[in-house]
Amino acid sequence: MKIYTKTGDKGETSLYDGKRVSKDDIRVESYGTIDELNSILGFARNFIEDDEIINIIYKIQRELFDVAGELATANNEKFPEKINEEHILYLERVIDEYISKVEQVDRFIIPGTNKASASLHMARTVCRRAERRILTLNKQEAIRETLIKYVNRLSDTIYAVARYLESDLKYVYFVSE
């Protein structure tokens, strides 16, 4: 089987529901950024030695296929696997667990004191970009609030775990209230 179809040679691609769109369409940019995030999380796993965190990342990676699938479907009724409130509650539990394990600081930290935390901070920034792309898409076509909320919580989750994995905090400056 060949992996090239030649159907995209003129700058278009097919969505999950068969609709053809430009490859630079904001919808393609949205799910493409989720795909990039998924790859970076896979990369980050290679530097993490904690089995619990590795399992969290695997779970998130599986869920990102559903996020991307829904974003890749103009008619979201045609995509059956949707992120729901339980997925968000899970992320909130992970955030609470890992933030409770770290020193609370009132300063910005310089991210990436080791390979594990650095790679997760890269994932966090890509997640934030994905969120921005999804919000831009939402201005054109309605995206479910639950999906938007999930991606927002996901960046917080990645931050919490990355922060937990930091080995030697370096501070930038004091943040006044």
Is a pLDDT exceeding 90 seen at residue 16? no
Q: Tokens in use for 20?
A: 């053809």
| Rounded CA separation 84/44 (Å) | 25
Percent of the chain with pLDDT over 90: 68
Tens digits of residue pLDDT in 64-91: 999 999 999 987 778 888 999 999 999 9
Average pLDDT over residues 48-64: 98
The CATH code of the domain at 23-174 is 1.20.1200.10
What predicted TM-score, i.e. pTM, was given to this entire model?
A: 0.90
Is a pLDDT exceeding 80 seen at residue 37? yes
| Rounded CA separation 77/85 (Å) | 18
Average pLDDT over residues 110-114: 88
| Rounded CA separation 69/80 (Å) | 9
The one-letter amino acid code at 111 reads P
Give the pLDDT score at 12: 80
Give the pLDDT score at 9: 75
**DSSP per residue, 13-82:** EE-TTS-EEETT-HHHHHHHHHHHHHHHHHHHHTT---HHHHHHHHHHHHHHHHHHHHHT-SSGGG----
Tens digits of residue pLDDT in 18-29: 788 888 899 999
Give the pLDDT score at 172: 61
Q: In sequence order, which residues have a C-beta less than 8 Å from that of residue 27 and are 6 or more positions away? A: 15, 21, 71, 72, 74, 137, 141
Instruction: Quickly count: other Cβ atoms within 10 Å of residue 168's Cβ.
Output: 7
CB 127 within 8 A of CB 68: no
Is a pLDDT exceeding 80 seen at residue 4? no
Task: Please choose, from the candidates 13, 8, 54, the residue with its C-alpha nearest in 3D space to the C-alpha of residue 32.
Answer: 13
